[in-house]
């Protein structure tokens, strides 16, 4: 379950807030920052890196201005520092003017400010909780031992027999006639029969496989993991085999696979430990969030009230 952020850029909330019906003043943009040439010397907190309205701004002042900013803003600064910094400067200026006008004490602004404040607090709590759950090495090891099948990996070889799409124009590749689906399946089944009778897999792969990359290597397809985003039917066929066994044919959109498993192992604990840590933290976060959702379930008693729009006024 992936949770949506309530508000990813705090500064965009201010700039995108809708003005009340009674007042929609146009806000002229202030004088934007002028970036100075990047100096060759190392940048310290006292180094001047920009100007706003003719006033020098140091690297230290920029860092203070951007404290608490989301990662998206840092990315925007890297792409277009002038445009991104102008947004931040505009945010600061408008925020300063709002305080001078004491908008936090006036309707409807104080209610809007309070609502957006709740959004930021909520996002802060989600971010805090995401990183607050701890998992011990013993818990990681226990999870690994109980779910070892999730970390299986198989070194396989394949023979791929393709067939023509009946809806596509007929053509030939390298002078080789394209097979129909039925012909390809029959060929794959015949190759499987030969393999089970003792034929050499590498030889048959080089002679018959339409997957040229693996065919040149005797059918070597490499490693397939349980966690890989591979077609489920192909992955199921692979992990149903024991080392040395052949299986198939497994139908894919444009062909059939004959498979041989050379090795079947499990990824070592040290390799998958970061994945397990992330998985367990995510599971605990989801359990916590589900409990919060249970506490905040709503039952509507009067739907007409909400249809009138009165709830928002």
Same domain flag for 98 and 193: no
Phi/psi at 52 (nearest 5 deg)? -125, 115
Query: Is residue 130 a part of any domain in this protein?
Result: no
Supply the pLDDT for residue 174. 56
Query: Is residue 275 a part of any domain in this protein?
Result: no
Whether 128 and 120 have beta carbons less than 8 Å apart is answered as no
Query: Is residue 30 a part of any domain in this protein?
Result: yes
Supply the pLDDT for residue 32. 61
| 67-71, Cβ contacts within 8 angstroms, sequence gap of 24 or more | 68/10, 69/10, 69/11, 70/8, 70/9, 70/10
Same domain flag for 160 and 102: no
Which of 225, 242, 266 is a domain's end point?
A: 266
pLDDT band at residue 16 using 50, 70 and 90 as cut-offs: very low
Query: Is residue 129 a part of any domain in this protein?
Result: no
Give the chain's domain count: 2
Same domain flag for 157 and 255: yes
Same domain flag for 181 and 85: no
Query: Is residue 128 a part of any domain in this protein?
Result: no
Q: Which of 69-73, 112-116, 254-258 has the lowest mean pLDDT?
A: 69-73
Supply the pLDDT for residue 111. 93
Mean pLDDT, the chain, whole residue set: 85
Supply the pLDDT for residue 306. 85
> What is the mean predicted confidence (pLDDT) over 1-27?
42
Note the pLDDT tens digit of each residue in 224-274: 998 888 889 999 999 999 999 999 899 999 999 999 999 999 999 999 999
> What is the mean predicted confidence (pLDDT) over 277-282?
94
Supply the pLDDT for residue 4. 41
Supply the pLDDT for residue 304. 87
Whether 284 and 133 have beta carbons less than 8 Å apart is answered as yes
Supply the pLDDT for residue 5. 40
Same domain flag for 102 and 157: no
Whether 10 and 70 have beta carbons less than 8 Å apart is answered as yes
Query: Is residue 305 a part of any domain in this protein?
Result: no
Which of 266, 285, 303 is a domain's end point?
A: 266
Same domain flag for 27 and 101: yes
Supply the pLDDT for residue 169. 56
Phi/psi at 120 (nearest 5 deg)? -70, -40
Supply the pLDDT for residue 11. 45
> What is the mean predicted confidence (pLDDT) over 63-75?
88
pLDDT band at residue 20 using 50, 70 and 90 as cut-offs: very low
Same domain flag for 96 and 26: yes
Same domain flag for 184 and 78: no
Same domain flag for 160 and 54: no
Query: Is residue 211 a part of any domain in this protein?
Result: yes
Contacts of 106 (CB under 8 A, 6+ apart): none
- CB-side neighbour CA atoms (13 Å) of 50: 22
Same domain flag for 93 and 166: no
Phi/psi at 73 (nearest 5 deg)? -70, -40
Report the C-alpha dihedral over residues 75, 81, 84, 86, rounded to 10 degrees.
160
Query: Is residue 89 a part of any domain in this protein?
Result: yes
Domain extent at residue 49:
10-110
Note the pLDDT tens digit of each residue in 153-189: 999 999 999 998 766 555 555 556 789 999 999 999 9
Task: Give the whole-angstrom CA distance, residue 256 versus residue 261.
Answer: 16
Q: Which of 259, 138, 113 is nearest to 195 (CA)?
A: 259
Supply the pLDDT for residue 195. 95
Task: Give the whole-angstrom CA distance, residue 201 versus residue 260.
Answer: 8
Whether 25 and 19 have beta carbons less than 8 Å apart is answered as yes
Q: What is the CATH number of the domain that holds 185?
A: 3.10.50.40
Paired with 52 in beta bridges are: 33, 55
Which of 57, 86, 110 is a domain's end point?
A: 110
Task: Give the whole-angstrom CA distance, residue 138 versus residue 25.
Answer: 61
For residue 24, pLDDT over 70 is answered with no
Q: Which residue has the tokens 């059918």?
A: 219
């Amino acid at each position: 379950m992936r949770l949506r952020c309530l508000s990813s850029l705090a500064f965009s909330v201010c700039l995108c807030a809708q003005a009340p019906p009674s007042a929609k003043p146009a806000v002229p943009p202030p004088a934007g920052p002028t970036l100075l040439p990047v100096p060759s010397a190392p940048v310290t907190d006292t180094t001047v890196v920009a100007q706003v309205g003719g006033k020098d701004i140091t690297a230290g002042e920029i860092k203070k201005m951007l404290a608490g900013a989301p990662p998206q803003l840092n990315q925007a600064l890297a792409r277009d520092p002038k445009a991104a910094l102008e947004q931040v400067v505009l945010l600061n200026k408008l925020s300063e003017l709002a305080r001078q006008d004491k908008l936090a004490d006036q309707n409807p602004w104080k209610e809007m400010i309070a609502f957006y404040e709740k959004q930021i607090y909520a996002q802060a709590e989600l971010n805090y909780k995401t990183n607050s759950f701890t998992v011990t090495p013993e818990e990681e090891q226990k999870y690994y031992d109980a779910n070892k099948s999730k970390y299986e990996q198989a070194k396989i070889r394949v023979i791929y027999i393709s067939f023509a799409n009946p809806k596509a124009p007929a053509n030939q590749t390298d002078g080789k006639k394209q097979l129909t689906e039925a012909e390809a399946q029959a060929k794959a089944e015949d190759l499987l029969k030969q393999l089970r009778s003792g034929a050499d897999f590498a030889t048959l792969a080089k002679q018959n496989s339409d997957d040229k990359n693996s065919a040149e290597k005797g059918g070597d397809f490499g490693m397939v993991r349980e966690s890989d985003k591979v077609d489920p039917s192909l992955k199921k066929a692979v992990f149903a085999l024991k080392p040395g066994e052949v299986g198939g044919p497994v139908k894919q959109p444009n062909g059939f696979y004959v498979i041989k498993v050379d090795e079947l192992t499990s990824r070592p604990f040290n390799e998958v430990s970061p994945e397990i840590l992330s998985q367990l933290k995510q599971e605990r976060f989801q359990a916590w969030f589900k409990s919060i959702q249970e506490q905040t379930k709503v039952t509507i008693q009067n739907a007409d009230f909400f249809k009138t729009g009165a709830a928002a006024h």
